[in-house]
Amino acid sequence: MPSIAEVVALLVGITCVVVTLPMKDRKITYFLVAFAVAAQATQFAYAIESRQAANDLLKASNRAYASILYAVAERDAELSRIIEKLKTGRQYRTEFVLGYMAYRENRNQDAAVHFANSLKSGEFVAQSEYLLGYMDYREAKTKQDFDHVRDHLKRSSSADNSYGAAHYLSAILDVRDNDIDEALEQLSIAAHSDEPAICVDLTKEKEVREVWPAIATDRRFLKLQKECRETAS
């Protein structure tokens, strides 16, 4: 359980990065930070009696933390600046964070080692499996390669079925295999997860044009887009 000082250090570090972002990029990041604050604060409620409830809270915290890293990285902020602000927050200098930084810098071999270490320690399991799968997806060329990607995604969803990123990539693979019904089912789970970045992607013209042309006119896909826009408004 991280101490109050370590959580404060985390939030200070993230805030320092957030304020460097353009105003138009801050809204989603502030939302993610607020979500993380709520998730972490809840973990300090020592009255929790249900082990399952505590486990669910930990998964929610992991999802929020991973989303913050994603949101900041996608806006070209330097992740190293976050780590620099967290010198007193040892709980957050994790193998997953180091792996994510290596992944963002295209050091895939280093990233894979860190994610494997994260899995061994039982931390950020869903997120580590997903990113291992995503790195494999970017290099996949044969059907066997894509089967290996699916193995990672299955383990990710098994660790935390609410982690939307794994369902999003699963939907991409389903479209590739022309399994449109399953793709839309996976995409629906992803869109209704607690990761707002997914809905943002679903409403981007470039993302739709490059990733979802096969289902862009499907009424179920259009419904998901509408729901995403309504959620954001």
Could you tell me if 99 and 80 are in contact, meaning their C-beta atoms sit under 8 angstroms apart? no
Cα distance between residue 171 and residue 181, in whole Å: 10
Cα distance between residue 4 and residue 94, in whole Å: 17
pLDDT at position 224, please? Answer: 95
pLDDT at position 91, please? Answer: 53
pLDDT at position 88, please? Answer: 45
pLDDT at position 53, please? Answer: 73
pLDDT at position 211, please? Answer: 95
pLDDT at position 19, please? Answer: 47
Which residue bears the tokens 């895939």? 108
pLDDT at position 21, please? Answer: 47
Task: Please state the separation of Cα 99 from the chain's center in Å.
Answer: 13
From first to last of its 233 residues, the chain has per-residue pLDDT tens of: 445 445 545 554 555 544 444 544 445 555 555 555 555 555 555 445 567 777 777 787 777 777 766 765 665 455 555 555 544 445 556 888 889 888 988 999 999 999 999 999 998 999 999 999 999 999 999 988 999 999 999 999 999 999 999 999 999 999 999 999 999 999 999 999 988 889 989 999 999 999 999 999 999 999 999 999 988 76
* All structural domains of the chain: 1-90 (no CATH), 94-123 (no CATH), 133-233 (1.25.40)
pLDDT at position 51, please? Answer: 73
How many other C-beta atoms can be found within 10 angstroms of the C-beta atom of residue 19?
Answer: 8
pLDDT at position 146, please? Answer: 96
pLDDT at position 23, please? Answer: 47
